[in-house]
Amino acid sequence: MIYKEDLRKEIMLKNELSLKANEIRKLVIDMLYKIGPERRGHPGPALSIAEILACLYFSVMNTDSKNPKWPERDRLILSKGHACPALYAVLALKGYFEKEKLYTFRKVDSMLQGHPDMRKTPGIDMTAGSLGHGLGAGTGMALAGVMDRKKYKTYVIIGDGETQEGLIWEAAMYAGNMKLDNLVVIIDKNRFQSCGDVCGIVDVDPLDKKFMSFNWEVVKCNGHDISSLLEAFGSPHANKPLAIIAETVKGKGVSFMEEDNSWHQKAITQEQYEIAMKELHEKNSSSAQ
Nearest to 175 by CA among 206, 151, 204, 154: 154
Cα of first residue to Cα of last residue in the chain, in angstroms, is 24
Is 102 or 168 the residue whose CB approaches another protein more closely?
A: 168
Contact 42, 89 (CB under 8 A): no
Minimum distance of another protein from residue 127's CB (angstroms): 4
User: What mask of x and - would describe binding to another protein in positions 155 to 194, judged by CB under 8 A?
Assistant: -----------xx--xx-xx--------------------
Computed from CA positions of residues 243, 248, 251, 253, in that sequence, does the dihedral angle turn out positive or negative? negative
Q: Which amino acid is at 129?
A: G
- Determine which residue in the list 53, 56, 102, 137 makes contact with another protein, applying CB under 8 A: 137
Is 86 or 142 the residue whose CB approaches another protein more closely?
A: 142
Name the segment binding another protein (CB under 8 A); options: 92-100, 139-147, 248-256, 258-266.
139-147
Is 52 or 126 the residue whose CB approaches another protein more closely?
A: 126
CA distances from 265 to 39, 257, 262 (A): 10, 11, 7
- Determine which residue in the list 123, 145, 159, 223 makes contact with another protein, applying CB under 8 A: 145
Minimum distance of another protein from residue 145's CB (angstroms): 8
Which residues are CB-neighbours of 5 under 8 A, at least 6 positions away? none
Query: Which bin fits 36, alpha (ψ -120 to 50), beta or left (φ > 0)?
Result: left
Burial of 192 (0-12, 13-18, 19+ CB in 10 A): buried
Minimum distance of another protein from residue 169's CB (angstroms): 9
User: What mask of x and - would describe binding to another protein in positions 13 to 32, judged by CB under 8 A?
Assistant: --------------------
Is 76 or 187 the residue whose CB approaches another protein more closely?
A: 76
Is 215 or 227 the residue whose CB approaches another protein more closely?
A: 215
Minimum distance of another protein from residue 198's CB (angstroms): 22
Is 140 or 201 the residue whose CB approaches another protein more closely?
A: 140
Number of residues that bind another protein (CB under 8 A): 30
CA 280 to chain CA centroid, Å, is 19
Contact 158, 216 (CB under 8 A): no
Contact 243, 235 (CB under 8 A): no
Quick check: helix, strand or coil at residue 13?
Answer: helix
Is 141 or 242 the residue whose CB approaches another protein more closely?
A: 141
- Please list every residue from 101 through 130 that binds another protein, using CB under 8 A: 117-119, 125-127, 129-130
Give the chain's largest Cα–Cα span.
57
Minimum distance of another protein from residue 170's CB (angstroms): 4
Is 111 or 267 the residue whose CB approaches another protein more closely?
A: 111
How many Cβ atoms sit within 10 Å of the Cβ of residue 100? 8
Minimum distance of another protein from residue 142's CB (angstroms): 8
Interface contacts to another protein, rule CB under 8 A:
71, 117-119, 125-127, 129-130, 133, 135-145, 147-148, 154, 166-167, 170-171, 173-174
